[in-house]
Chain A
Amino acid sequence: MSYQEKNVTVALVSHLLILIYYLFNLLPIIQSGEWIASKLYALWLVVIGTTILVTIIGSILTNIILSIFEAIRSQKYEDPRFITDERDHLIELKGIRIEYITYSIGVLLSIFVFIFGQPPLMMISLIFVFGILAEITGDIAKITLYRRGL
């Protein structure tokens, strides 16, 4: 498993955890039908903040842990080079394309929910769900491409 592959796996796990947390807080609101704006704004803020923090911290931690393992494996104390090459960039681009397709479909579905009489806050909540789902789909696509070779 390459450095990039491990990085994507960490991102996938963190995105899954964020989605579980978001749905865990959103489902009671959907069930009760009480769309209180202030409550939702706080939830969105937490989700956006956590996503940014987890992505940054996850990336730094992965780098540190992999550097330690690499130093132990190679018995060298120099800074290991985790290079990204053209194949990594191609996989990244393909992953982003799948992310955009998933997100576009999600936004379209959310708009339909609004058109069919649901409150606008529900539409925005669903857009957030599809945003995280798109990230997860992109991560899965990238891992699949790495496993297959491309």
Chain B
Amino acid sequence: MEKRQVRNNIRKLRFMNNEMTQEQLAEKVGVTRQTIIALEGGKYAPSLELAFRIALAFGVSLTEVFSYEVDDEQK
């Protein structure tokens, strides 16, 4: 079965940006810390607007933060 998932590099980017905390990122993009935790854990796919805000917070392009992957698990 095909499994589609939005993956992200938020954790890595936070680390590369002076070890920015989840709280700091949440404040920058206007969401709760719980949402950042859910995003990093891959449990929640953000809206396009939030995705752009996160990319802007890190000063990188959208594709550097998010990627869309299709895992073909058909056996």
Q: B12 interface residue, CB < 8 Å from A?
A: no
Taken residue by residue from 114 to 150, chain A's Cβ proximity to chain B (1 for < 8 Å, 0 otherwise) reads as 0000000000000000000000000000000010111
Docked complex Cα distance between A88 and B69 (Å): 26
Given the complex of chains A and B, what is the CA–CA distance between A142 and B34 in angstroms? 14
Complex contact A88–B43 (CB within 8 A): no
In the bound complex, how far is the Cα of B35 from the Cα of A139, in angstroms?
19
Number of interface residues of B (CB under 8 A): 14
Distance (whole angstroms) from the CB of B44 to the closest CB of chain A: 5
**Which 7 pairs show the lowest CB-CB distances between chains A and B?**
A149-B43, A85-B31, A149-B38, A87-B35, A150-B44, A2-B34, A85-B35
In the assembled complex, which residues on chain A have CB atoms less than 8 Å from the CB atom of B32?
2-4, 83-85, 87-88
Among residues of B, the one whose C-beta sits closest to the C-beta of A81 is B27
- The prevalent SS among residues of B at the interface is loop
Which residues of B come within 8 Å of A, CB atoms?
A: 30-35, 37-38, 41, 43-44, 46-47, 50
Q: In the complex, A11 Cα to B43 Cα: how many Å? A: 25
The interface bits of chain A over 68-88 (1 if a CB of B lies within 8 angstroms of the residue's CB, else 0) are 000000000000000111111
CB distance from A40 to the nearest CB of B (A): 43
| Residues in chain B near residue A84, CB distance under 8 A | 32
- Complex contacts, A86 vs chain B, CB 8 Å: 31, 35, 46-47, 50
Alpha-carbon gap, A110 to B38, bound state (A): 40
How far, in angstroms, from A88 to B32 measured CA to CA in the complex? Answer: 9
Chain A contacts for B30, CB-based, 8 A: 83, 85
